DNA sequence: AATGAATGAGAGTTCATTCAT
DNA sequence: TATGAATGAACTCTCATTCAT
């Protein structure tokens, strides 16, 4: 039919200006997280990143203007993700402290133990902390928010403010230390056991 | 005679340079530990190392055949040092477990908190663990021996074998996690408090 | 009908884009003159040009097939403009030589001293003269015609053919040299004074 | 003879530490002047420079830490050369103004007309003046000193201070303009004639 | 054992140009 | 005609390592 043909024609025109792209910023961020976590920041080249994205080196700069810009985007994305999806769990008053902590670990363990490469923040903190002020502030915010989240759980578990802070810090330290040892010994059980011990810090542990 | 004078002159020159040993391997290792701990492995160039040693780049290779060779030597040296001087303290049956732990921390804290740059093993583990099999095995040995040392203290404190291992691992994790957070927040108190908490894990804490 | 509504919608979209002529070749040339004069040929990127035109990089190639093609168009346009609008003034026998020279300068000074960026031909001559034969011939034609124009004025001022040529060349050289120093010292007075001195070369100076 | 053999041996030792170099900074500067003058600053790559020096790209950085550093060294060297060897001629009171001017041109013409590539300062001024403040100040100093030198000659030729300055500026402008036209038309006579005209500005022209 | 010039591979980045839509 | 993602070559620069002396 005439109108149908025209429809198709015009539809094509409407698509005219939407050039297809091989990949999205979001996918690049996911790939970047993966590579940086496994290889570290300095040992991952722009070429590595581009190829992993199916792009040429030069094309990568369409998405991120520099390696640092990519890293910043990654840290921001991860930070927001943790804030909104993970740390927020700690403030859910409809669940017991123990339940919240369990959910927290249930969400995190598979991510952290995946290929035994741990947590990006943990992995690149010591490599990049002295490089960029911008990186540093996101890393600090990440750990602050994590400690705050755990503190809330310990508060709701009946601890004093001081005690809750101490327990929260200790728990974060144990988990980050566990992630390091997990990587050293290539043994995911080390992380799992550490999580169990953190759970046992709760008075009303299930 | 002209040629004789020149002979003497050149002889002196030759002695001057032949006798010159600007630095020892041991000193280079100490300097390397310092730089790697502060700047990381990848961000420390051979030029940085050479200059810090008062050498030219080319001369550095008379002492160590490569960057990796230097790193290996550093890891070995540090490992032996910890084995002989630090971890061995845990086996001193003439002291109480608490006393041993306290001495352990007293020896480590100043090293770790110096310039807030932490422990080389902790700092470069996550950066280099996936690089060299040789690095990996020393790093594993280091942490194994550390855990073993703590385990001995917890055993002597009246814990079961299983329980002692769990406490030892947990303690190492807490300290490594504390070193990371100390660096993130540039706050040495985080490490000191973590050590105190580890001490309190002892039944007969002083 | 649904399909009909969509048809109309898409038709509008198609008209929207089909009718859109964001910019004309002439406007691009004007913008190009401006950018090249200020930043030079090599330091002005196609992206700079496109953005200054409100286009995307890719769209620019619908107007000019390459950077060189744009430059050629610019040189041609400018050359024709000077031939028809400026150099032609020198042949206006209804005015005295001094009047013609004055009009010449009155038209040129504001263009040249605008933002102290001088004359495109002068500015890019030394940068591009060894690049493209095509550029070279327009640049040569421009300067030839300029000298010819001045020569006519000096002829009509009562000079011999030889003398008129010498004075014309000298005047062009003084003005181009003045444009260079104007830029070096960011001082428009240098050009204005140079023009005054050229005027004084006329016997019947006003 | 024994002592002779030993002499040779020790002589070799004394040369021990003097690693041979393929090229000197001074030679690189000369080559850089040549390339920049012919091709311009932006169109001359570090690779071009290195190859022209018989070096690999990376080796070039042993001599100059960056392209800008090389350019700065070149501008400084040229500026000092002109100050000490050329402009200084203008202040030689043992010669008449005309003699000084003639010597000045006699020294400059062969340099400028060599391969018809003109004067580096003139050639790259318009390309680099807006890039680096450091470049700008040397370029300004160069032209200031040149004008001062000519002014002294015109003063000694019996002109007032004001008049001498005007004549000096005009002369520099004519010469720079002549260099530009010389390049445009590939005709060294244009420069020579311009120099003659400058000489004629002297009252006591020879 | 000391030098430092030389190397060559590869880093991050820019840019003129192409092309599918 | 408009898009902007994609390209690939070239750019400036870094760095671990080698080597003649």
A1-65 matches A66-206 in fold: no
CB B188 within 8 A of CB B129: no
What is the distance between the alpha carbons of residues D8 and C192, in angstroms, rounded to a whole number?
71
Asked if A136 contacts A71 with a C-beta cutoff of 8 angstroms, the reply is: no
Contacts of D174 in chain C (CB under 8 A): 170, 173-174, 177
Q: How far apart are CA B121 and CA B124, in angstroms?
A: 6
How much is the average pLDDT of B9-15? 49
Q: Is residue B82 within 8 Å of B146, Cβ to Cβ?
A: yes
CA of B122 to C1' of E3 (A): 36
Write down the pLDDT at residue B111. 85
Q: Do chains A and C touch (3 or more CB pairs under 8 A)?
A: yes
Q: Do the Cβ atoms of C181 and D197 come within 8 Å?
A: no
Q: What percent of chain A has pLDDT over 70?
A: 89
Q: What is the pLDDT at residue C9?
A: 46
Sign of CA dihedral C186, D194, D187, C150: positive
Measured between CB atoms, which of D129, D136, D177 is closest to C176? D177
> Please, which residues have CB within 8 angstroms of residue C22's CB and are 6 or more apart in sequence?
C53, C54, C55, C59
Region D50-68: mean pLDDT is 95
Residue whose Cα is closest to the C1' of E5: D21
**Within a 10 A sphere around the Cβ of C107, how many other Cβ atoms?**
12
> For C184-202, what is the mean pLDDT?
96
Chains that touch C (3 or more CB pairs under 8 A): A, D
Element (H, E) at B95: none
Q: Please state, in angstroms and rounded to a whole number, the distance separating the CA atoms of residues B17 and B15.
A: 5
Q: Among A167, A121, A177, which residue's Cα sits nearest to residue A147? A: A167
Distance from CA of D203 to the nearest CA of C (A): 17
Q: Is C142 helix (H, G, I), strand (E, B) or coil?
A: helix
Question: In chain D, which residues touch C (CB < 8 A)?
Answer: 38-40, 42-43, 118, 122-127, 129-131, 136, 139-140, 143, 166, 169-170, 172-178, 180-181, 183-185, 190, 193-194, 197
Helix intervals (H) in A40-159: 46-52, 57-60, 67-81, 97-113, 120-128, 133-156
Whose CA is closest to D102, among D205, D193, D189? D205
Through-space distance between the first and last CA atoms of chain A, rounded to whole angstroms: 69
Chain A nearest-CA residue for C7: A7
Tell me which chain C residue has its CA closest to the CA of residue D41: C127
Q: Is the pLDDT of residue D205 over 90?
A: no
CATH superfamily of A66-206: Tetracycline Repressor, domain 2 (1.10.357.10)
Contact C126, D183 (CB under 8 A): yes
CA distance D29 to D78: 9
Place of tokens 């932490």: B118
- Angstrom distance, B55 CA to E2 C1': 9
Q: Tell me, what DSSP letter sits at residue A55? A: -
d(CA D31, CA D25): 10
- How far the first Cα of chain C sits from its last, in Å, is 81
Give the whole-angstrom CA distance, residue A173 versus residue A166: 11
Nearest C-alpha of chain B: how many angstroms from A26?
25
Sign of the alpha-carbon torsion through C119, C123, C129, C135: negative
Closest C-alpha to C1, from A14, A4, A12, A9: A4
Instruction: Pick the more confident residue, B105 or C116.
Output: B105
Mean pLDDT (chain C) is: 89
Q: What is the pLDDT of residue A205?
A: 61
Mean of pLDDT values over A140-144: 97
Token pair recorded at residue D84: 């000490």
**What proportion of chain C, given as a percentage, has pLDDT over 90?**
73
Is the confidence at residue D123, as pLDDT, over 60? Answer: yes
Residue pLDDT, tens place only, B41-64: 999 999 999 999 999 999 999 999
What pLDDT was estimated at residue A2? 42
What is the nearest CA distance from A15 to chain B, expressed in angstroms?
A: 46
**Which whole number is the average pLDDT over B67-83?**
95
Q: How far is Cα of residue C192 from the mean position of the Cα atoms in its chain?
A: 19
Say how far apart CA A149 and CA A87 lie, in whole Å: 6
pLDDT at B65: 95
Return the HEC string of chain D.
CHHHHHHHHHHHHHHCCCCCCCCCHHHHHHHHHHHHHHHCCCCCCHHHHHHHCCCCHHHHCCCCCCHHHHHHHHHHHHHHHHHHHHHHHHHCCCCCHHHHHHHHHHHHHHHHHHHHCCCHHHHHHHHHCCCCHHHHHHHHHHHHHHHHHHHHHHHHCCCCHHHHHHHHHHHHHHHHHHHHHHHHHCCCHHHHHHHHHHHHCCCCCC
The DSSP letter of residue C87 is: G
Nearest nucleotide relative to B60: CA against C1': E2
Q: Where are the domains of chain D?
A: 1-65, 66-206
- Per-residue pLDDT of B174-190, as tens digits, reads 999 999 999 999 999 99
Structure tokens at C72: 């050629």
pTM: 0.88
Half-sphere exposure of C3 (CA within 13 A, CB side): 8
Q: How confident is the model at residue A20 (pLDDT cuts 50, 70, 90)?
A: low
Please tell me what DSSP assigns to residue B77.
H
Taking an 8 Å cut-off on Cβ atoms, the answer to whether D40 and C126 are in contact is yes
Give one word for A54, left, alpha or beta, with left for phi > 0 and alpha for psi -120 to 50.
Answer: left
> First vs last Cα of chain B: how many Å apart?
82
Q: Span B86-93, mean pLDDT? A: 96
Cβ-based neighbour number of residue D181 at 10 Å:
20
Chains adjacent to A (≥3 CB pairs closer than 8 angstroms): B, C
The 10 Å Cβ neighbour count of residue D17 is 10
In tens, the pLDDT along D71-98 reads 999 999 999 999 999 999 999 999 999 9
What dihedral angle (degrees, nearest 10) is formed by the CA atoms of A126, A128, A133, A135?
A: -100
The DSSP call for residue A18 is: -
Mutual angle of helices B161-185 and B189-200, in 10-degree steps: 170
Q: What is the DSSP letter of B117?
A: -
B18 and D14: CB-CB below 8 Å? no
> Are the Cβ atoms of B173 and A169 closer than 8 angstroms?
no
On chain B, the residues whose CB falls within 8 A of the CB of D15 are none
Question: Does A42 sit within 8 Å of B180, measured CB to CB?
Answer: no
DSSP letter assigned to residue C89: G
How far is it, in rounded angstroms, from Cα D181 to Cα D190? 7
* Chain C residues within an 8 Å CB radius of A16: 17
The closest of C121, C127, C120, C114 to C140, measured between CA atoms, is C121
B145 contacts B87 by C-beta, under 8 angstroms: yes
Q: How far is the CA of A63 from the C1' of F5 (A)?
A: 10
**CA dihedral for A13, A16, A21, A24, sign (positive or negative):** negative
Q: How far is C-alpha B32 from the geometric centre of its chain's CA atoms? A: 10
Identify the residue among B13, B19, B55, B58 best suited for mutation to test binding to D, counting D beta carbons within 10 A and taking the highest: B13
**Chain E bases closer than 7 A to any CB of the protein:** 1-21
Exposure on the CB side of residue B129, measured as CA atoms within 13 A = 29
pLDDT of residue B124: 87
Per-residue pLDDT for D12 more than 60? no
Residue numbers in D near C184 (CB within 8 A): 125, 129, 136, 139-140, 143
- Per-residue pLDDT reduced to its tens digit, B144-178: 999 999 999 999 999 999 999 999 999 999 999 99
Which of the two residues, B151 and B119, has the higher pLDDT score?
A: B151
CB D147 within 8 A of CB D169: yes
* CATH superfamily of the D1-65 domain: Homeodomain-like (1.10.10.60)
Other beta carbons within 10 angstroms of residue C3's beta carbon come to 11
Residue B19, H or E segment: none
């Amino acid at each position: 039919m005439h109108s149908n043909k025209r429809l198709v024609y015009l539809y094509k025109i409407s698509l005219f200006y939407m050039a297809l792209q091989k990949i999205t910023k979001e996918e690049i961020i996911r790939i970047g997280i993966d590579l940086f976590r496994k290889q570290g920041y300095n040992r991952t080249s722009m070429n590595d990143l581009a190829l992993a994205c199916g792009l040429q080196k030069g094309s990568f700069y369409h998405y991120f203007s520099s390696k640092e810009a990519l890293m910043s985007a990654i840290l921001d994305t991860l930070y927001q993700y943790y804030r909104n999806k993970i740390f927020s769990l700690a403030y859910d008053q409809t669940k017991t402290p123990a339940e919240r902590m369990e959910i927290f670990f249930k969400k995190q363990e598979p991510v952290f133990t995946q290929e035994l490469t741990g947590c990006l923040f943990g992995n690149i903190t010591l490599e990049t902390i002295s490089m960029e002020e911008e990186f540093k502030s996101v890393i600090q915010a990440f750990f602050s928010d994590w400690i705050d989240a755990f503190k809330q759980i310990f508060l709701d578990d009946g601890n004093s403010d001081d005690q809750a802070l101490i327990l929260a810090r200790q728990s974060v330290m144990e988990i980050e230390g566990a992630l390091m040892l997990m990587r050293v010994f290539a043994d995911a059980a080390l992380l799992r056991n550490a999580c169990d011990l953190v759970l046992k810090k709760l008075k009303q542990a299930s």
